[in-house]
Amino acid sequence: MELQNRANITIHVGDPEPSLNGEHDYILHAVVTKEDHYRCVVTQDNICHQIYSKETLVPVSSGNDPLIGGMIGCIIVIGVLAAAVAFLLYKLHRNRNSSGQQDDKTNGATSPPKRST
């Protein structure tokens, strides 16, 4: 009994273990590191007979997925914070300029207009 991927490459695994249900079922433990379709192959050499199980897609997540997600999350948070700081600086600068312009307009309005004769 062996495990094969879709390219018919044999994956090295331990010896099959009989299941605990008392039937003629065997459990094959394997650790795979590549996402692929796998199937179990049983060969009876003495009668030249071979049977295959149905292929099963085994998804494998890489260990970097959480790290990449965390990095993307940090970049988004930094971007939002930078935008918030830029917005606050813009508002502060705008308020300073508008209050200075209002003082100039107010000072100019208190002096009487000059008449030309």
Model confidence pLDDT, tens digit, residues 82-117: 888 888 888 888 888 777 665 555 555 555 666 666
Amino acid 69: pLDDT? 66
Distance from C-alpha of 24 to C-alpha of 43, rounded to nearest angstrom: 16
User: What is the residue range of 87's domain?
Assistant: 62-106
- Residue for token digits 């993307």? 72
Q: Are residues 54 and 70 in the same domain?
A: no
Q: Which residue has the higher pLDDT, 70 or 40?
A: 40
Count up the domains in the chain and report the number: 2
Map residue 73 onto helix, strand or coil: helix
Q: Are residues 69 and 97 in the same domain?
A: yes
The model carries a pTM of 0.45
58 touches 32 (CB < 8 A): yes
Whether the CA torsion 19, 39, 58, 29 is positive or negative: it is positive
